[in-house]
A and B are shown apart, each in its own frame.
Chain A
Amino acid sequence: DVKVTQSSRYLVKRTGEKVFLECVQDMDHENMFWYRQDPGLGLRLIYFSYDVKMKEKGDIPEGYSVSREKKERFSLILESASTNQTSMYLCASSLGRGNTEAFFGQGTRLTVV
């Protein structure tokens, strides 16, 4: 059974804190993604990575950074959390460059107060 696991289901952080969201996949997938999900806005891509140490900006990268030191792990970093970053964050992974299914984690509900 394929698995994408996010380290936290719920997080509450204070404005200005540095926040780490962790994602691990056990499928040996090359590609990993971080999406943000907000009502009425769908799934918006923040950053993705197609290989270890490689990263690419998505549609809304401002205020975020990422790290991929190992193939199975992809971290999303909020350098200085702000209230407008309160959202549901979804990690996903997929295999290679072809047209293959993306598998999602269970999501992290982040609240910045």
Chain B
Amino acid sequence: GENVEQHPSTLSVQEGDSAVIKCTYSDSASNYFPWYKQELGKRPQLIIDIRSNVGEKKDQRIAVTLNKTAKHFSLHITETQPEDSAVYFCAAKKTGAGSYQLTFGKGTKLSVIP
């Protein structure tokens, strides 16, 4: 089955700096890569996703890049703010028969220091 590796497990940045979280996946058939943010005591929520026909996607201060050849994708947060502090999970999924579930990375705890 699919295996998703996520690095780093913890990340501390100064407010205003950029943060980058990287994930690799094993199944070349995976074609959907969402990122979830989980604030302390809250449920994970989708913040951005990318499909395999796209190399990069941006939404304000958040961007995700995908390299299908290398089977890795990354989350980039620019101009970090204290409210960006959370645990971030990457995930991978493929479509087709029998493909219903996301496979998640182990998460990155991001701390933004004011």
A41, B45: Cβ atoms closer than 8 Å = no
A44 to B107, CA, bound (A): 11
Measured between C-beta atoms, what is the minimum distance from B79 to chain A in Å?
25
Contact of A99 among B31, B43, B45, B89 (CB under 8 A): B31
- On whether A58 and B101 interact (CB within 8 A), knowing A41-B106, A90-B44, A98-B95, the answer reads yes
A35 to B104, CA, bound (A): 10
Contact of A45 among B31, B96, B101 (CB under 8 A): B101
B49, A97: Cβ atoms closer than 8 Å = no
A101, B34: Cβ atoms closer than 8 Å = yes
User: Is the contact region of chain B dominated by helix, strand, or loop, or is it mixed?
Assistant: loop
A50, B100: Cβ atoms closer than 8 Å = yes
Asked if A106 lies at the interface with its beta carbon under 8 angstroms from chain B, I say yes
Q: Which of A69-105 contact B (CB under 8 A)?
A: 90, 94, 97-99, 101-102, 104-105
Interface range for A: 20 to 34
A31, B100: Cβ atoms closer than 8 Å = yes
Of all chain B residues, the one with the shortest Cβ separation from A101 is B46
- Counting chain B CB atoms within 10 Å of each CB, the highest count among A40, A97, A102 belongs to A102
Instruction: Name the A residues within 8 Å of B72 (CB-CB).
Output: none
Of all chain A residues, the one with the shortest Cβ separation from B4 is A42
B42, A42: Cβ atoms closer than 8 Å = no
CB<8 Å pairs between A and B, sample of 17: A35-B104, A40-B9, A41-B106, A42-B6, A42-B104, A42-B105, A42-B106, A43-B89, A56-B100, A58-B101, A90-B43, A97-B95, A97-B96, A97-B99, A101-B49, A102-B102, A107-B43
Known: A31-B100, A43-B89, A99-B95. 9 other contacts (CB 8 A): A43-B107, A44-B104, A48-B101, A56-B100, A90-B43, A102-B46, A102-B102, A104-B44, A106-B42
